[in-house]
């Protein structure tokens, strides 16, 4: 089950729907504050806690948290630079049995940030910015309630001083910032606090961990999927992709190349010459085009021929620099997966006339304009398909090494050869890629990552 991710507008609508159905705003605030207080109590482990309360309902959540901690015997300091500005926050303030200071500095080893919630749209300045700067420099355990106070929920944009939090507690539902850089990098451990909202069908969610099926009892290499990788001028990248693909489930992986590859593993089939004829093999289930392809006329011609086969295909690396609207004439865009990094995404948006702000908006818009499945990779990987938009748990930062994108492309293409579903193949590819990085341990090379795909597969069966 994918965990829903809401925009600010969707979250407000969900809260309004709950109130229209008979749940008061005060009851929602109590659920949020008391649920968050359970996490705070757990991580505080008896230590005193400072709660920073802002003027809105996020500050109201803070007063409920503080009162819950106080009732349970925790020493609590509450700092509120200004008075509550909403009726529900004012009620929460009156219910708090401790003292509130407007000017004190945080002094306890656990600090809870409830200054601003999910609706922030302006720069955080003045006394609030000063408080966040103090929190950022203190030696303490930092907890952000809902989203960090200097973060825009919809875009992940940073709007003021942003401390490095140890934990972020999302209230009611995940927000887009919980899966977007640069905000995500500062959130620490993320946990969801349910408050009983009916979220209904949504178009965005965190991808759920997949389960990969074992081959059927009557399986053979072609039934399990034949993946053809279109090689080009540079031999290293397609070999890396092939190494990963052979370990990600496809029954048969071959390289369509114009030159020899003496370093290729013995189990990799290499077909040289007669590219058009080799490409026309009716047993091919999926194609991978791009790693090591080059960007000359010959590479452009190979890409065009591959697209005209109307097979499920993953386009990566050089193919993303060559791709344009003219190449899609006659192609089946519903079976095409694009796997761009940030720079390649910008190049594709330019080629297809996409103008949008931010990685999320560009990814979705490119998908809408082209009809292709777009996997915008990076520390905040986003998958936009005709099904929905998926975010993923943050992967290992050790993946920031040359060649890991080729490995990801090989994994995705292998999964595509197995079942032919672009959205599913991309999601499975990201999870396998991240798990392989965990298994490979720190400071791996792309080759080491490719070999770790095999044990990674075992954890999803």
- Full set of structural domains in the chain with CATH: 3-206 (3.40.50.10260), 226-458 (3.40.1190.20)
Q: Taking the model in full, what pTM does it have?
A: 0.95
Q: Residue 369: its pLDDT value, please?
A: 97
Could you give the CA distance from residue 359 to residue 246 in angstroms, rounded to a whole number?
A: 31
- Give per-residue pLDDT as tens, 117-165: 998 999 999 999 999 999 999 999 999 999 999 999 999 999 999 999 9
Q: How many CB atoms lie within 10 A of CB 347?
A: 15
- When pLDDT is averaged across residues 60-86 and rounded to a whole number, the result is 97
Reported confidence tier of residue 104, pLDDT bands at 50, 70, 90:
confident
DSSP 140: S
Whether 5 and 177 have beta carbons less than 8 Å apart is answered as no
Whether residue 292 has pLDDT greater than 80:
yes
Reported confidence tier of residue 33, pLDDT bands at 50, 70, 90:
very high
DSSP codes, 154-212: TT--B-S-----SEEEEESSEEGGGGSTTGGGG--EEEEE-------S-SEEEPPPP-P
Q: Residue 1: its pLDDT value, please?
A: 58
State percent of the chain over pLDDT 70.
100
């Amino acid at each position: 089950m994918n965990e829903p991710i809401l925009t600010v507008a969707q979250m407000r609508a969900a809260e309004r729907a709950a109130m229209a159905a008979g749940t008061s705003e005060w009851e929602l605030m109590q659920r949020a504050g008391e649920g968050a207080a359970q996490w705070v109590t757990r991580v505080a482990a008896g230590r005193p806690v400072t709660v920073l309360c802002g003027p809105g309902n996020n500050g109201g959540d803070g007063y409920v948290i503080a009162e819950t901690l106080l009732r349970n015997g925790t020493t609590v300091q509450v700092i509120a630079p200004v008075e509550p500005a909403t009726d529900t926050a004012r009620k929460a303030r009156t219910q708090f049995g401790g003292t509130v200071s407007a000017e004190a500095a945080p002094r306890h080893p656990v600090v809870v940030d409830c200054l601003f919630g999910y609706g922030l749209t302006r720069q955080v300045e003045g006394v609030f910015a000063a408080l966040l700067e103090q929190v950022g420099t203190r030696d303490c355990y930092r907890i952000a309630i809902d989203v960090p106070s200097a973060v825009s929920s919809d875009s992940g944009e940073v709007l003021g001083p942003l401390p490095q939090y140890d934990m972020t507690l999302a209230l009611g539902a995940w927000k887009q910032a919980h899966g977007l850089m640069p905000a995500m990098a500062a959130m620490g451990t993320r946990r969801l606090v349910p408050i009983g909202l009916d979220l209904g069908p949504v178009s965005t969610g965190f991808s759920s961990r997949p389960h990969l099926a074992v081959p059927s009892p009557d399986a053979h290499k072609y039934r399990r999927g034949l993946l053809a990788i279109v090689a080009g001028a540079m031999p290293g990248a397609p070999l890396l992709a092939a190494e990963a693909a052979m370990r990600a489930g496809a029954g048969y992986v071959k390289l369509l190349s114009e030159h020899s590859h003496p370093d290729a593993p013995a189990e990799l089939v290499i077909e040289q010459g007669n590219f058009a004829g080799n490409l026309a093999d009716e047993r091919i289930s999926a194609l991978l085009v791009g790693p090591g392809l080059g960007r000359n006329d010959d590479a452009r011609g190979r890409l065009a021929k591959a697209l005209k086969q109307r097979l499920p295909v993953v386009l990566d690396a050089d193919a993303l620099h060559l791709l344009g609207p003219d190449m899609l004439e006659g192609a089946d865009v519903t079976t095409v997966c694009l796997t761009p990094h940030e720079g390649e995404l910008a190049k594709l948006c330019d080629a297809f006339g996409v103008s949008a702000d931010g990685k999320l908006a560009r990814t979705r818009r490119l998908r809408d304009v082209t009809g292709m499945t777009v996997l915008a990779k990076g520390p905040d990987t986003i998958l936009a398909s005709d099904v929905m938009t998926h975010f993923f748990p943050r992967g290992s930062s050790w993946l920031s090494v040359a060649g890991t994108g080729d490995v990801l492309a090989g994994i995705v293409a292998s999964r595509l050869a197995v079942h032919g579903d672009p959205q599913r193949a991309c999601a499975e590819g990201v999870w396998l890629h991240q798990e392989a990085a965990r298994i490979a341990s720190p400071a791996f090379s792309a080759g080491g990552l490719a070999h770790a795909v095999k044990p990674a597969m075992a954890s999803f069966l």
